[in-house]
Structure 1
């Protein structure tokens, strides 16, 4: 597992490798194959190097006596981005970097598992980027992304889908889900739309009026 760049000119989503639990090599390989740009957070670089992955951008606050210069040769050419701002996570800084380059979409791996606080923060913080960056967080069991006000996608029957509100979400309507939502309200900590599934092969439609609603495509 080493190369990517089969596509060029940012035609496909970039890839960010964070420092949570690793995913299966098959998933990582599929994403690398179609990613024109690979960003690795500094805390994960040694793990990534062990997998012989070509890195385009190394980004982070470089604390704990971290020396990024040693990767200039082994990962040449590599762009090294120092982001010392402690008011944002390194993952948020990577999102900001992509926005500065006018890259519209990104897949993120190794952002879940391990520490629960990191997992919750990584997933919920994508809401602030709703209008500027399409973010998908993937691991071996889930694909997580923020829904637009109206969402339509074809799914096979029995696909597991969870709808998780970030805060309070109102006016939710759905079609082709086993547990239908009709002008429903979901509130984190009180009522969520976890463990629903697709009724039959076909289009699933989900609409909501106000709030931030995550869709999680889940595999046991």
Structure 2
């Protein structure tokens, strides 16, 4: 079972991200400062806390508005000098990064669902890592999305998600991944995957529960994140992968 993140910053973040932070904590919680690349990191939900831990973070995002929010948040937290925002797309990192190939850690959280080519994006991220560098990969889980729609009373949408169809033409279609599909992408990018875990096994379900103890929710998330059958029905999937 993953342990509760030791970083006081991580401990204050939403319980739904507890499993991700628990996986990252051994890398970012202590030791030498890292060069971190956050692809699609937008307004800095991960970038700013990592900067507060002493790391330097480059965020690549296509949205100018999100990057403006990132800079405001970083400045307000006193880490503006450690956070760099670059407008660009994840599948063209080699065009927007001045020093491609030297990052210790890359984040790709909830990005592969919406990019044009997930395989190309992950290959670009792998190329931006130094040998031995790692990527933290989080993506929507198809099984979790099916159950969430069914429980919410939308069986037609649930079946469409299970069959990988979109029931709302014209709306931005979001991919959902099975663990096998995510691992295949990692392998295709030349990365070596670690164990995968579920993200938000119960946190989203308990979010509206009256009186739910946040610490108890986090502890339950961490207890369920890496064991079957619970991880298979989580809202998201997460793994760390290493560039050989």
TM over 0.5: no
In proportion to residue count, which structure has more helix? 2
Identify the structure with bigger relative contact order (alpha carbons < 8 Å, sequence gap 6+). Answer: 2
TM-score bracket for the superposition, by shorter chain length: 0.3 to 0.5
Instruction: Please give the TM-score of this superposition, normalised by the length of structure 2.
Output: 0.36
Q: Highest CA radius of gyration, 1 or 2?
A: 1
